[in-house]
Structure 1
Amino acid sequence: MRDPRFQALAAQLAGYSTALRPGDRVLLELTDIPEEMGIALIREARNAGAIPFLRLNQSRLNREMLSGATEEQYGIIGRHRLAEMEDMDAYIEIRGGGNAFELSSVPQENMAAAMKALNPVSQRRIRHTRWCGLRWPSGGMAQQAAMSTEEFEDFYFRTCLMDYAALRPAMRKLAAMMEKAEYVKITGPGTDISFSIKGLPAIPCAGECNLPDGEVFTAPVIDSANGHISFNTPSLFQGIPFDNIRLTLKNGLVVHAEAGDKTGELNAILDTDPGARRLGEFAFGVNPAITRPMRNILFDEKISGSFHLTPGQAYHVADNGNQSRIHWDMVCIQTEAAGGGDIYLDGKLVRRNGLFTLPELAILNPSLS
């Protein structure tokens, strides 16, 4: 029997997140997910009058390809995929796979070659389509989250299918406050950093581009960040697990980076290109249903009471001019249980110990949601 939540999720993706319209061409890129979910998504696209196109991947085959990747090979792949993306009005990606560390042994230079070749595809998708990306729940994800498989699946569908429209007004108010502000200051254990966001847009994300969702982001002025920051949330990037990342920034540049026994790997990634050592995003995590890390960035960057800073590429909708082949959301949780911390906009306290201090933002606090 088909899980009715599959149909509900397909409807959320096609009807709300990408708002498919008659005649839209939508690329469905699916990796290691149940056929029933793919069928539900194709049918929902057709019900909206859209024309679905299908790209199927398998994570182990992707790993094998990347293990021997060359610039010539991925240059050809990149050109083909860019031509495909140029024909699309919308894009939905669902990535499954039981092993989050599948790519951990792929040589860094191979990953860099593939990312360089595929970056124009990503930029075309971000800039010119209505898109949404999400992961598919698996036993591996449940294990990372320290949950039973059933418990994690229930959590996953609950957060993906929540009423994001109800959160949008408060998220828009937070975005308006950010757009009026010039400076951000963040303090907490191992953290004392400030930067400017003057003149940059702030974007509320309420289920349109990711599921689950729940962040309000902008970008630091490219040369403005000064101070140090400790990220207390585990991170998984390019298949490599990182814990306790610490960065020191001077005039917007990461001048020191450490992550215990992964310090070498961390600095290798930050040396991908000049933009990888500058920040491309700052965001508040505001999903009241996500309260602890899953070691999965699509969840962790939305944790209520968190913020993230992102070495690498800025989004075009909040563009500080930074360009890079990487975009790495590093998350710090500031709830009292996680050690606490404050965020100020132009010297005004906006959030203390993970809770917004203003009544109009209270719906974004987990205890009041």
Structure 2
Amino acid sequence: MKDPRLATLAKVLVNHSISVQEGEKVQIVGTTNAKPLMKEVINAVYEAKAIPFVELADDELRVLEVKQAPAEKFQLRNKWALEQYKDLDAFIQIIGEENDAEMSEVPAAQWQMGRSHLKESHDYLIDQKKWVLLNYPTKAAAQKARMGYDTYFDYLIDVCSVDYKKMEEAQRPLKELMDKTDKVRITAKDTDLSFSIKGIPAVMCAGERNIPDGEVYTAPVKDSVNGTITYNTPCPYQGFTFHDVSLTFENGKIVKATADNTEELNKILDTDEGARYIGEFALGLNPLITEPMGDILFDEKITGSLHFTPGEAYDEAPNGNESSVHWDMVLIQRPEYGGGEIYFDDVLIRKDGLFVIDELKGLNPTNLK
């Protein structure tokens, strides 16, 4: 039996996230277990009088394809993908996770080589085309979230279907404040961090790129970060999950990094020079996402959270940092997670996960639900 909520979600993706127009060409990429939603997306694209192009993906096959691939393979893939993307207007990716550890079979050096050779086509798609990314509810994802499948399915549909127009309006005062802010200070348990965001644009995220959504992000001035941040949520990266990650900065650079697997953590941060600098600072704002579940598309939007991201900066909020790494790590500041404060230019703007100045109170969960 079809779930009518999937048709509603498909219309959010097609009509809100990528705003498909008549005659546009839309690529839909998804895994086989995401077919129920993919079928609804195809229908929604046709209803918009646009043209869908469908591609099925499989993680097991991708691992076999990538882990032995020579540089030439990635170079050819980059060339073919670039030509394909030039003919598209929009791109929807639906991920249906079957095994979170599947990608750990691929050596880190192989991932790095692949990303470096595919960077041209990837950046072209991200910068030049409309796109959105969504995780479909699977049993593997439910297990990772420590939920029964039916509960997880309902949860995902709910958090993906919030009122994004309302969220967008509530985000505007935060963007305006961040655009004129210089100094930021973050405090929490084992955390005292300071940096500048002066001159770097703030970007609102209300359903146009990721579903679920709900954040406003910018980036720190590259060499301005000093102090320590200790993350209180799991930090997944390419099949590995790290706990109790703590990073210490001097003049922007991570000079000390510890976790439950400190050696592997530092290997990732040594991938290239930019991996030890920060590419993103963001505040999580989705009122229905409250607990970490090991899926960064959800965790980075947790209400009362922030993420502070080693690696590549986005073109929309550039600070000059380049890296093959972009690793969102999340700190929750609500009281049950130890609390915490955020100051903009020495003014307290959020305490224990709630905004305390009048112009930002519309972003608190009771006002966004």
TM-score (norm 1): 0.97
Cross-structure match for 1:45: 45
Distance 1:35 1:212 in 2: 19
- Between the two proteins, what is the percent identity of the paired residues? 44
Within 5 A, what are the aligned runs for 1:1-369? 1-260=1-260, 262-368=261-367, 369=369
| Deviation digits for residues 317-358 of structure 1 (CA, Å, limit 9, x no counterpart) | 111111111111110001000011100000000100111112
Q: 1:103 is paired with a residue of what secondary structure? A: helix
| Deviation digits for residues 41-71 of structure 1 (CA, Å, limit 9, x no counterpart) | 1121122122222222101111212221322
Distance 2:51 2:68 in 1: 34
Which moved further from structure 2: 212-221 or 45-54?
Answer: 45-54
Q: Give the aligned residue type for 2:314.
A: Y
Q: CA deviation at 1:158?
A: 0.5
CA contact (8 A) 1:32 1:97 kept: no
Distance 2:118 2:238 in 1: 14
Q: 1:318 is paired with a residue of what secondary structure? A: coil
**Which runs of 5 or more structure 2 residues have no equivalent in the other structure?**
none
Q: 1:34 is paired with a residue of what secondary structure? A: helix
Distance 1:233 1:32 in 2: 30
Distance 1:84 1:271 in 2: 33
Distance 1:32 1:119 in 2: 26
| Deviation digits for residues 259-291 of structure 1 (CA, Å, limit 9, x no counterpart) | 12x212211111121111111110000111111
Q: CA deviation at 1:305?
A: 0.4
Distance 1:152 1:36 in 2: 16
**Which runs of 5 or more structure 1 residues have no equivalent in the other structure?**
none
Q: CA deviation at 1:367?
A: 4.3
CA contact (8 A) 1:32 1:95 kept: no
Q: CA deviation at 1:124?
A: 1.1
Alignment: residue pair count:
368
Q: 2:168 is paired with a residue of what secondary structure? A: helix
CA contact (8 A) 1:18 1:90 kept: yes
Which consecutive segments of 4 or more residues in structure 1 shift more than 6 A?
Answer: none
Distance 1:65 1:250 in 2: 40
| Deviation digits for residues 208-246 of structure 1 (CA, Å, limit 9, x no counterpart) | 111000000001111111111101110111111111111
CA contact (8 A) 2:33 2:138 kept: no
CA contact (8 A) 1:304 1:364 kept: no
Distance 1:272 1:78 in 2: 21
Q: 1:192 is paired with a residue of what secondary structure? A: strand
Which moved further from structure 2: 121-130 or 26-35?
Answer: 26-35
Q: CA deviation at 1:173?
A: 0.7
Q: 1:94 is paired with a residue of what secondary structure? A: strand
Distance 1:265 1:72 in 2: 28
Q: Give the aligned residue type for 1:279.
A: I
CA contact (8 A) 1:170 1:360 kept: no
Q: CA deviation at 1:250?
A: 1.0
Which moved further from structure 2: 182-191 or 59-68?
Answer: 59-68
Q: CA deviation at 1:107?
A: 1.0
